[in-house]
Amino acid sequence: QVQLVESGGGLVQPGGSLRLACAASEFTLDNDAIGWFRQAPGKEREGVSCVSYNGGSAYYADSVKGRFTISRDNAKNTVYLQLNSLKPEDTAVYYCATHRWNRLCVGWEYPDRFSSWGQGTQVVVSS
C-alpha cells in the first residue's frame, strides 16, 4: 500500500514555528485533497486542516485557525503545514493522508475518509 511521508517535526518552544511537509514518491497528489491530522497521547486522532486538490480551498480546525496555514506545491508533489504561534497543546504526532473519494475536502474532519497514511512526524512544544 502506498503511503505518504511526513517530515519537519521537532522540539520547539511555545510561540515558535515549524513547517511540516507531506510528500509522495510513488504516486502524484495533484488529484487528491490532502488532510493533516494529529494525535496526542491518550487522545483520538483529530483533523487539523485540509486542502483541496488544486489548492483553491483550505479548511482548519477552530483550535488552529489563524495560526496554521496549509499549502501545496503540486510541481513538487508536496503539501505543507506551517505551524506558527505554537502552544504546548499542539504537541502531538502529525499525519497527512489523501481523501478517499473527494477532491474538495468534504467531511475532512473524519479520519476514516482518508487513506495512504504516513508514519507521522512528532511535534513537541515545550519550554
Mean pLDDT of 65-86: 96
Q: In whole angstroms, what is the distance from residue 84 CA to residue 7 CA?
A: 16
* Sequence-distant (≥ 6) Cβ neighbours of residue 78 within 8 angstroms: 21, 22, 23, 29, 72
pLDDT of residue 100: 83
pLDDT tens-digit readout, 62-72: 999 999 999 99
pLDDT of residue 1: 65
∠ CA 89-86-93 to the nearest 5 degrees? 55
The dihedral region occupied by 87, where left means phi > 0, alpha psi between -120 and 50, and beta the remainder, is beta
Mean pLDDT of 6-23: 98
Check whether 20 has a pLDDT greater than 90: yes
Q: What percent of the chain has pLDDT over 90?
A: 88
Check whether 81 has a pLDDT greater than 70: yes
pLDDT tens-digit readout, 95-113: 999 998 889 999 999 999 9
Q: What is the residue-averaged pLDDT of the chain?
A: 95
Within 13 Å of residue 38, how many CA atoms lie on the same side as its CB? 22
Check whether 11 has a pLDDT greater than 80: yes
Determine contact, residues 116/101, Cβ cutoff 8 Å: no
- Cβ neighbour number for residue 22 with a 10 Å cutoff: 28
pLDDT tens-digit readout, 22-33: 999 888 888 999
Q: In what order do the strands lie in the sheet with 78-83?
A: 5-7, 18-23, 78-83, 68-73
pLDDT of residue 28: 86
